[in-house]
Structure 1
Amino acid sequence: MDFLFIADPLESFKIYKDTTLAMMRAAQGAGHRLWFCQSCQILWKDNFVVADCQTVAIKPSGTSWYELGEIEQRKLNSFSAVLMRTDPPFDIEYLNTTWMLSAAVRQGAVVMNNPAAIRDHSEKLSITEFPELIPPTLVTRELEAVQAFHQQHADIVVKPLDGMGGMGIFRVGPDGLNLASIVETLGENGARTLMVQRFLPEISQGDKRVLLIDGEVVPFALARIPQGSEIRGNLAAGGKGVAMPLTDSEKRVAERLAPLLNERGLFLVGLDLIGGYVTEINVTSPTCFVEITEQTGFDVAAFWLKALEKRLSLT
């Protein structure tokens, strides 16, 4: 099979832990042919969605871990599967790419995750569909609403809707110190919508990433545990990743959401749970394959590839 990976520049990959690279290695090891392009190389041309793409071979060792072929222009519907792995932020160009990919789907391309499903599932706002599974949450542009929420819950977290990797997350304790300043700055004086949630002390045990693949639940989570005085468990913010089996309650939540999200075209999902509460539903470029595999022996990339091959054999 021919797989096209739409991703960030290969030289930007953190090769010791990159999930997209783990996917590529698994697919190449199974005999599939890999192709690569960036989202800026997706074109509408001669009434088709095409990509200026290159074959990519993953090398076992050395200073350069990949080898690219010559640029070729291919229709997206000529690939066995197109894997959208561009990292957030979900800006206007990311949105434009999903519209192009939706056009490719209409032309018969198999794109995972489905671009329409990506658009329909804001990684932060999509949790509001499941209010019984989330912590007390407020979404607003209004400072007064945030202040009232703080008065009710005393200890809160404020974050932008388009942040990633823990960027822009602030905790405001019972003293309310700098609350107005934080909201005004993050919200650009009411121009941007913010999410506010009750602070969950269970973050000390980790912000757990639970992977859903083709409606199935990976049996291990990666707990991203904050270090020192930090409240953010995100690995990009210095959190320590510790893989562990899912608890019964985490498994129940994941098994409830997995088939539902899969039916909507979300083949790979990363649920974020703190203390059993769902805090985010990641659908753009979920990660943590490598950390879970290395610490538990459960080969997440192989699990993903087997599910992908099975799905493609049915289409």
Structure 2
Amino acid sequence: MSVAETTIAAPRAGTAELADPSAVRRALRRVGGWLHASVRYPGTLIAGVFVALVILAAIRPAALTRRDPYATAPAKMLQPPSAEHWFGTDQLGRDLYSRVVYGAQSTILASLVSLSIAIAVGVLFGVIAGYVGGATDAVLMRLVDVLLSIPGLLLSITIVTAIGFGTIPVAVAIGVASIPTFARTARAQTLRVCSSAYIEAAIVSGVTPAGIIARHVLRNVFGPVFSLALLEFGRVIMAVATLSFLGFGAKPPAAEWGSLINEGRSYLMTSSWVPLLPGLVVVLTVLAVTVLAARSEKELKR
């Protein structure tokens, strides 16, 4: 084959690759397959319903309860679960179920903000490091290694102590601590894509680096990052609840899952439902998210 024929063939290879379905469409197809398959797996279906209720509570808590989560009633303090108060009442007579429902808003919001920060910065670092390589790769990955060398919870506590307490500072702290996981995944996928023949064909055909990253690298990074985000979501929820339990989250009387557990821990022996029921909701949410993530990952790998 002559040089001219080789030059002509290269752009065709790149063009054929561009004609393939994007990674986003493939991922959406797989998620659709997961939704169809969930009917065959009752556990997955139950987990999906539970997560849907949690998301509804975070978006519109009034749809799940009409009680005021901040209304006190000293005459009804520390009542056990009943038909009137599904989760019982706390030490101030407030309806615990409504406080758990409204607490989902802060906890889920903080978790989503954390994931957004981790994905945005982590993918940026990973793609730049993997595509540029050389000294840039070395510097960025050493920074990621430094973050990885510090336990995530300790790093989050250090950051939130420096920037202040509250729901958003907690979200930022956990998001920064989660960056290395996404950065390493994005870098590995970028290196794999950049070693492919169609990338060389795209370079020969005159596609700019920005075009290669947008059309080839990012769409191939999306699938693994999406799957990782689902797996990380449960861990992030637990981390947000942990920092809130330790007193770094929203200040009382604001309802937040971790702070609800913290407020009720003094009544563990006398009124165990006060700390245990909010804690059970956190555990079930993390478990449900993990079940959905595991099923989604299996569907995405098919």
TM-score, structure 1 normalization: 0.25
TM-score, structure 2 normalization: 0.26
Q: Which structure has more helix as a fraction of its residues?
A: 2
Query: Which has the higher relative contact order, 1 or 2, with Cα contacts under 8 A spaced 6 or more apart?
Result: 2
